[in-house]
Chain A
Amino acid sequence: MNARRKKIRINAWAKFFGAMLLGTLSLPAFGQNPRLDIKNLEALAKKASEVVDVNLDGSLLKLASKFMTDEDDQEALDVIKNLKGVYVKSFTFEKPGDYSPADVDAIRSQLQAPAWSRIVSARSKHDGENAEIYLMTAADGGKVLGMAIICAEPTEFTVVNIVGPVDIDKLSQLEGKMGIPRLGEQDNEPSQKPEGHRAKP
């Protein structure tokens, strides 16, 4: 009787550990986080002449949405309403080469398949610009779980990480609104970077 009880207990433990092992093994495939680790970029702030650092988690987005009552804010509110986080790091440097390809690779290495898929990769040899857009979608391929934009220019490096079901079309349509000039309409502008609160390091 005791031996039978012992056997049942061992079986239960075996099932438990089996489930744990299965869960751990399936993590790389399904457990990738839509939130990127971009803390390693903080070191670039010392070299940059301008830094934009925005960290908005779910609670801050909710708080912000309570205060987005202006008519101009409605489209932005529509974009953020189901988001769990918005994180932006943008650095402007005095001269090319102030950030290294390793800085870009540190971000890119987190954007691996199967969770992440690169939907845009554009490189301009003439301007030295490099833009990549990644999407994390649910396993069934339908729901967007997160988005990452990496823009690497000779004197500017920007990483945008949006966590949650972002509507890319709505986000794209914000340009030209909320005081954002359409780039095509502002060709004489010296910088294409939008205005905002910038921190001088």
Chain B
Amino acid sequence: MNPWEESLREALRRKAAPEGFTDRVLARIRELPGREKRPWFQFRAFIARPALRWAAAVLFLAIASSVAFREQQERQRRQGEIARMQVKQALRIASVKLNAARRMVQEVNPGTAQSRL
């Protein structure tokens, strides 16, 4: 057995725990902050309150409805603008064609035009 193996065997040899080791470990654990005192658990406990849950739900609903209402209004505004442009375009064409017909009645050979306008 070479020296290296000897030292390894020595290092891995089973040893009994020193006197009072278990008590010291348990005392240290008791000294650590409690699970309920950790920030994450404190936050979870805070949001777990029923009143806060209701408030969050109401706030969420309010925000969601506000966003939906705004989107609806924006959609309606866009549709309205398109409709407005289309109305103007349709009236442009209608008035131009109406007047063109009137002018034709006035200008073309009276034999080919009859008007009751």
Q: Which chain A residues have a beta carbon within 8 Å of chain B's beta carbons?
A: 52, 54, 56, 60-61, 63-68, 73, 76, 79-80, 86-88, 90, 117, 119-125, 129, 131-133, 149, 151, 158, 160, 162, 168, 171-175, 178-180, 183, 192-197
Distance between Cα atoms of A175 and B92 in the complex (Å)? 7
How many residues of B are counted as interface, with CB atoms below 8 angstroms from the partner's CB atoms?
36
Q: Which of B3-11, B18-26, B37-45, B95-103 binds A? A: B95-103
Given contacts A194-B92, A194-B93, contact A172 B98 (CB under 8 A): yes
Which of A65, A67, A119, A162 is close to B115, meaning CB atoms less than 8 Å apart? A119
Q: How far is the CB of A66 from chain B (nearest CB, A)?
A: 6
In the complex, B114 has a CB within 8 A of chain A: yes
Q: Which residues of B contact A192 (CB under 8 A)?
A: 96, 100
- What residues on A are CB-neighbors of B102 within 8 Å? 120, 172
- Proximity string of chain B (50-85) to chain A, C-beta cutoff 8 Å, 1 when within and 0 when not: 000000000000000000000000001101110111
Q: Which residue of chain A is the closest to B94 with respect to CB atoms? A: A160
A196 and B92 contact, CB distance less than 8 A: yes
Q: Are B93 and A158 in touch, CB under 8 angstroms?
A: yes
Verify A67–B77 contact, CB threshold 8 A: yes
List, in ascending order, chain B residues with CB within 8 A of A87's CB. Answer: 90
Which residue numbers of B lie inside 8 Å of A, CB to CB?
76-77, 79-81, 83-105, 108-109, 112-117
| SS class, residues of chain B in contact with chain A | helix
**What are 23 A-to-B residue pairs whose CB atoms are below 8 Å?**
A52-B93, A56-B86, A64-B84, A65-B87, A67-B84, A68-B84, A86-B90, A88-B89, A88-B90, A117-B116, A120-B113, A120-B116, A122-B108, A124-B112, A133-B101, A151-B101, A160-B90, A171-B91, A171-B98, A172-B98, A178-B91, A196-B85, A196-B89
User: Are B96 and A194 interface neighbours, CB within 8 A?
Assistant: yes
Chain A: CB-nearest residue to B93: A88
**Most A CB within 10 A of own CB, among B79, B101, B102:** B101
CA gap between A162 and B88 in the complex, in Å? 13
Q: Which 9 A-B pairs have the closest CB atoms?
A: A64-B83, A131-B101, A122-B104, A196-B89, A67-B80, A194-B92, A174-B95, A122-B113, A54-B90
Cα A63 to Cα B76 with chains together (Å): 8
A124 partner residues in chain B, CB cutoff 8 A: 104, 108, 112
For the complex formed, measure the closest distance between the CB of B88 and the CB atoms of chain A, giving whole angstroms.
Answer: 6
Report chain B residues within 8 Å CB of A60: 79, 83, 86
CB distance B93 to A160 under 8 Å? Answer: yes
A151 to B101 alpha-carbon distance, docked (Å): 8
Give the residue among A172, A179, A183 with the most B Cβ atoms within 10 A: A172
Separation in Å of the A180 CB from the closest CB of chain B?
5
